[in-house]
Amino acid sequence: MQKHLLEAVTAVGMALGIFGNVNVVVAICRKKVLRTKGAMFVMALALTHLVCNVSEVIGLIFQFRFRPMSRKTCFEYNILYCFAVMFQSALFLSMALDICFSIVLPIKHMIWKKRNYVTAMCIFPTIFAISTTLISFLFIPDEETPYCIFMLTTDIRIYQMVSSSLIVLNTLTLLIIILSVLCAVRKSENMRGSRHSSSSRANSLRGEKSKVFRSTFFLVLIYIISWWSVVIIFRVMVEIVHDVREVVHYMPYLIIIVMPNFCQAYYVTYFRSPRFRKAFREQLNWITFGYAFPKTFDKERSKGSKHGSATNSANGHQQHTDSDGKKIRDGSQKSIRFSVQADV
């Protein structure tokens, strides 16, 4: 009964994750206004979580989670899953550094080419994911595992090393975000006290920075609560319990804590970004054949009609002015002609 309930909850969570992550990727590819540097990191995060969602769905279909098999075979089934998890763990560090660069080096951050910048920032997550996945594969013991979960495939000492590196990496990410927030507050106070900066400019800058901070903070917070907490819980259980086989029985149920992390990109951007929310509502309107959010396009049409009427009125006023000017010129020419005839 518990097995089927866990599978049902996992299926619902993964379905929501696939729906959300696909929407994020489609919205960023479709809307040019969303293709900022920060949004490209969100798209990379959504693609990574999409790999995790699909891997979990495949595991549900073939009943991998509760099936005993050799550790090597289990790792081969979950190799993409392992790579994606390690990549997204290091990607949060790149996202924190992006926020830090935008505050400390705002001008250079603006002029850096988006494609080269995002590619360079994704190099470390890629190297980290490849190295940890390769090390985990090389040290797989020739044994059988009761549950096919990638954390149970490698040697326990290798897992402790990898989990320790993840904890250090994410602690560094959290510290960078906190320092970036403090630096942004300090800069906003300096701008507020400056006589050369207008109040409207300072308020708009503070508003944009605060939105970025809140969105990134929520992404990292959900990650810490879900995946990072799972790593710490399993590490503590391994250290406390001497027999690892007693801990193994609780591993399949940790997916419930991890699930919010795999669908957070969509829901955080939906509630925190008006531009993303508008793009998502347009896509939901298309998916439901116009039943969901029908007023989304009505607002655009009304704006277009108002713009068109304003343009027409301006053109009409211009034509009226031109005709009046023409009448005045014709009248003046006639009066001049009559005066010349009278003089003759």
At residue 54, the pLDDT reads 94
| Residues 341 and 226 both lie in one domain | no
| Residues 277 and 300 both lie in one domain | no
Contact 22, 287 (CB under 8 A): no
| Residues 334 and 273 both lie in one domain | no
Phi/psi for 315 (5° steps) reads: -65, -40
* Strand, helix or coil for residue 69: strand
| Residues 165 and 307 both lie in one domain | no
Distance from C-alpha of 22 to C-alpha of 325, rounded to nearest angstrom: 59
Half-sphere exposure (CA, 13 Å, Cβ side) for 271? 9
User: Over the range 253-282, which residues count as b (16 or more CB within 10 Å of their CB) and which as e?
Assistant: ebbeebbbbbbbbbbbbbebbeebbbbbbb
| Residues 96 and 163 both lie in one domain | yes
Query: Residue 67 has which token pair?
Result: 């099936």
Q: Where is the domain boundary, 293, 316, 333?
A: 293
DSSP 154: S
At residue 83, the pLDDT reads 95
| Residues 94 and 44 both lie in one domain | yes
Give the domain range for residue 112.
2-293
| Residues 148 and 282 both lie in one domain | yes
At residue 6, the pLDDT reads 83
Residue with tokens 């097995």: 3
Distance from C-alpha of 272 to C-alpha of 42, rounded to nearest angstrom: 13
Phi/psi for 194 (5° steps) reads: -75, 140
| Residues 50 and 130 both lie in one domain | yes
At residue 164, the pLDDT reads 86
> How many folded domains does the chain comprise?
2
| Residues 258 and 308 both lie in one domain | no
At residue 339, the pLDDT reads 40
| Residues 72 and 218 both lie in one domain | yes
At residue 51, the pLDDT reads 95
| Residues 190 and 95 both lie in one domain | yes
| Residues 261 and 325 both lie in one domain | no
CATH number of the domain where residue 27 is located: 1.20.1070.10
* Strand, helix or coil for residue 145: strand
How confident is the prediction along the chain (344 residues), in pLDDT tens digits per residue? 577 888 888 899 999 999 999 999 999 999 988 888 888 999 999 999 999 999 989 988 888 777 888 888 889 889 999 999 999 989 999 998 988 888 888 888 888 899 999 999 999 999 999 999 999 899 888 888 887 887 778 887 888 888 888 888 888 988 888 888 788 778 777 766 554 544 554 455 455 555 656 676 777 778 877 777 777 777 777 677 766 566 667 777 777 888 888 888 898 889 888 889 999 999 999 998 888 888 766 655 555 555 455 445 545 544 444 455 544 445 544 443 434 343 33
